Amino acid sequence: MFPSVDGRLAILALLPLSLVVITALGWFIENRQRKPRLPPGPVQLPLLGNVLSIDTKEPWLTYTKWHAAYGDLFLVRILDQEAVVINSQHVAEALMDKRSRIYSDRPYLATVEPFGWSAVTFGFTGYNDEWRLSRRLFHQTFRPSSALKFRPMQISRARDMIVNLIDDPQHYHSHFATFSSSIGMSVIYDYQPSARDDPLVKIVENALTVGLDIATPERAILLKLFPFLLKLPDWCWGSSIKRDARISTEHMNEMRDLPFQCAQQHMVANSFLGQSSMVAENLQRMEKQDEASKPMFETALKQAAAAAVLGSYETTSSTLMIFALAMVLYPDVQRRAQAEIDLVIGRDRLPTFEDRASLPYVESILRETFRWQPILPLGVPHATSSDDTYDGYFIPKGATIMCNVWAISRDEKRYPDASRFVPERFLDVNGALTGDDPAGYIFGLGRRACPGRYSGDASVWSAIVTMLATVDFSSAKDGQGKVIDFTPQFITGIIRYLFRHSILLSLTVASL
């Protein structure tokens, strides 16, 4: 049977159409093969992405679980935001360090502006000229060679802290906080806070307590989805977020302006002589500039100064809380460190920075403190400023980049029995330090890496070594002398820190 004339005409007509379809299909397949794939990752739901499967309080735990399934680099979607999660130091270095030109932006966080954070830190500012100016000002004061100058002051503040701890051991958290802020405020404003109830320290505490508690990631998502919440009238249900944002902004502005004004007044009263704080040095520099550039410079200086206070306050005191927890839970570690100090320094003087290289066990405790309970388990998120390809995977412009510090620090191959506090993991068979230093990932990577790390590391070291040399930490006991059990409680947000009174400890002068 032959097809009819109409049928033959239809076949003839279909021929060019099939040719077009086949060519388009070929082009599509070829293009697909040429275009790199997105990184692997868990299945996404329409509109929501992976948001329902992520532990909102401790997202790093979900990401660490997915690390086993999807590898060192995977992609998740949180509503409309694509986020690439990096789970190994090697990949973090390859992208955030070696390609820092692409990986140094910050993602949009809906809470930063309304809650007043942009006024007090360049930590969330995009990768732009405003950030460069603030970071340059910051760097002049905190670069490694300048940070060396703070060391005698850091040791002296650590000793003041011991006096406070012995005098009033119950409020150990408050003494850690005073120590942190007194270092920051000396360097930045040439201001020495009093041991208790200092008005300027109170201002910083207020800003941070409000800011950290309410500008949480959950609120950032809520505000991104429903920005009109900031416009609701005060009487309306749901307007509490607007009120919180207003209170937070007031506290943040106060923190940026009041210590700065104090430093300015102090300078005028002392005729600009012998002023060596970050603010004083830069204000003197500003005097020589042309009038037009002064306002921008002053704004950047205020912001860089507040960023330094903010950056040092919670990070340093939270790290000291982790150290205290470790000393209570692992008394053998404390004893071994004290034995090292006794052997190297003896008992008739206190440690100084000149002793640091001779105290490898103390150094391994510092490393383990940073690793064991990282205070920024996902670092601070970066964002890409252009498309990129890595290991055959396509990483789009504007993607959020998270370095899963938790996964790196809990990698059982690198750190066997990772949930235990074992400083010895950083020592070789001869008791010398190994080349593995968590500072390589806990301070972030690339151009956004923590600019206060040299001063932060030295503050924590001076506090730890001075405490080990002078006091004993142990578990708190009840009236019958029985150890009181406790479960440490962490508060989570961008920073993961121990709840103030969650370590039940007893502090005594070190036994001689």
Name the residues that contact ligand HEM, by CB under 6 A: 122-123, 135, 142, 307-308, 311-312, 315-316, 319, 375-376, 379-380, 382, 442-445, 448-452, 455-456, 460
Six token digits for residue 283 = 């204000």
Nearer to ligand HEM (CB atom), residue 59 or residue 311: 311
CB of 128 to ligand HEM, least distance (A): 11
Nearer to ligand HEM (CB atom), residue 100 or residue 275: 100
Helix residue ranges per DSSP H, 379-452? 405-409, 439-442
CB of 383 to ligand HEM, least distance (A): 10
CB of 313 to ligand HEM, least distance (A): 8
CB of 345 to ligand HEM, least distance (A): 24
**Phi, psi for residue 83 in degrees, rounded to 5:** -130, 130
Nearer to ligand HEM (CB atom), residue 359 or residue 403: 403
Residues 6+ apart with CB under 8 A from 8: none
CB of 204 to ligand HEM, least distance (A): 12
Residues 6+ apart with CB under 8 A from 292: none
Rg (CA), the chain: 27
Nearer to ligand HEM (CB atom), residue 86 or residue 445: 445
Six token digits for residue 140 = 């002049």
Nearer to ligand HEM (CB atom), residue 455 or residue 470: 455
d(CA 270, CA 278): 16
Six token digits for residue 265 = 């007044």
Q: How many CA atoms lie within 13 A of 316 on its CB side?
A: 32
Bridge-based pairing state of the strands 73-78 and 81-86: antiparallel
CB of 92 to ligand HEM, least distance (A): 9
CB of 489 to ligand HEM, least distance (A): 20
Nearer to ligand HEM (CB atom), residue 341 or residue 463: 463
CB of 392 to ligand HEM, least distance (A): 25
Nearer to ligand HEM (CB atom), residue 255 or residue 460: 460
Q: Are 166 and 471 spatial neighbours (Cβ–Cβ below 8 Å)? A: yes
Nearer to ligand HEM (CB atom), residue 304 or residue 468: 304
d(CA 74, CA 85): 5
d(CA 452, CA 413): 30
CB of 14 to ligand HEM, least distance (A): 59
- What is the distance of C-alpha 470 from the center of its chain? 30
d(CA 70, CA 74): 6
Nearer to ligand HEM (CB atom), residue 136 or residue 243: 136
Bridge-based pairing state of the strands 382-383 and 400-403: antiparallel
Q: Are 51 and 79 spatial neighbours (Cβ–Cβ below 8 Å)? A: yes
Q: Are 473 and 290 spatial neighbours (Cβ–Cβ below 8 Å)? A: no
